[in-house]
Amino acid sequence: MRVLVSGANRGLGLEFVRQLLARGDAVIAACRDPAAATALASLAATRSDQLQVLALDQADAASIAQFARSLVQRGERIDLLLNNAGMLPAGERFGAIDPAVLAATLATNASGPFLLTQALAPLLADGAKVVNLSSGLGSIAGVQDMRTPSYAISKAALNMATRQLAAALRERGICVVAVSPGWVRTAMGGAEATLSAEQSVHDLLALIDRLGVSDSGQFLTRLGEAIAW
């Protein structure tokens, strides 16, 4: 299987790359600055036949367009697109939300995955899968208090992008879902989180493997349970 992982230089993205390589998949690992992605470089040094590391800034439309052009020129085909890149602004308080931060978070977490999937659609194999890494914090039904507003708003928007993409790609048998990885111990999730990156990714890959086109458009936990929109 040929897999593209965005935000692959750390956290869940890096763990996805590790586990995909370990099971024999070919991986295109995208991140903003490959030169600074030392963990990816170490993997590429020993798995050059399986792993390519490429530059992509998911918040930049020009970067997305250039990235897609380069893959088209090389005749790539993608069986699984993991839209993993994201940002979580810390310390936000109502009354002091920075408009630039909100806009950047929406661009990275919602617009970016949508535009990247659109740009790569010609390279997606019929019957491919697109998995958008969302969050339970993006569930409108689940909101009880004001927490991480820029992040929550962006993930709710990503969920709508998932539904739109599912409809657009349905005729090609492509499954598009939004998934919540749970609260994971990464730089974003923090040290107190309940799940390791290894466990979360293990569960997510097991879920992805059993997804079919009939599941397209859903919002799921890492174990495959439906989350209220």
At residue 170, φ and ψ (nearest 5 deg) are -60, -40
Residue 226 lies in a domain: no
Would you say 97 and 151 are in contact if contact means Cβ atoms under 8 Å apart?
A: no
pLDDT tens digits along 104-115: 999 999 999 999
Predicted pLDDT at 36: 94
Quickly tell me which residue has 């998934």 as its tokens. Answer: 179
Burial of 32 (0-12, 13-18, 19+ CB in 10 A): middle
Predicted pLDDT at 42: 93
Residue 130 is part of which domain span?
2-221
pLDDT at residue 219 tops 90:
yes
> Would you tell me how many other CB atoms lie within 10 Å of the CB of residue 79?
15
Residue 122 lies in a domain: yes
pLDDT at residue 73 tops 80:
yes
Residue 228 lies in a domain: no
pTM above 0.75, yes or no: yes
Q: What is the mean pLDDT of the chain?
A: 95
Q: Report strand pairing: 78-83 vs 2-6.
A: parallel
> Would you tell me how many other CB atoms lie within 10 Å of the CB of residue 102?
17
Would you say 151 and 137 are in contact if contact means Cβ atoms under 8 Å apart?
A: yes
Q: What is the CATH number of the domain that holds 196?
A: 3.40.50.720
Predicted pLDDT at 182: 86
Predicted pLDDT at 195: 84
63 Cβ contact partners less than 8 Å away, ≥ 6 residues apart: 55, 56, 57
DSSP state of 194: S
CA of residue 38 relative to chain centroid, distance:
20
Alpha-carbon distance 172 to 124, whole Å? 9
Residue 188 lies in a domain: yes
pLDDT tens digits along 151-201: 999 999 999 999 999 999 999 999 999 999 987 877 777 778 778 989 999
Number of domains in the chain: 1
Residue 229 lies in a domain: no
Q: What is the dihedral angle through the alpha carbons of 136, 137, 139, 142, rounded to the nearest 10 degrees?
A: 90
Residue 54 lies in a domain: yes
Identify the helix (H) or strand (E) that includes residue 133: strand 124-133
Residue 101 lies in a domain: yes
Predicted pLDDT at 192: 80
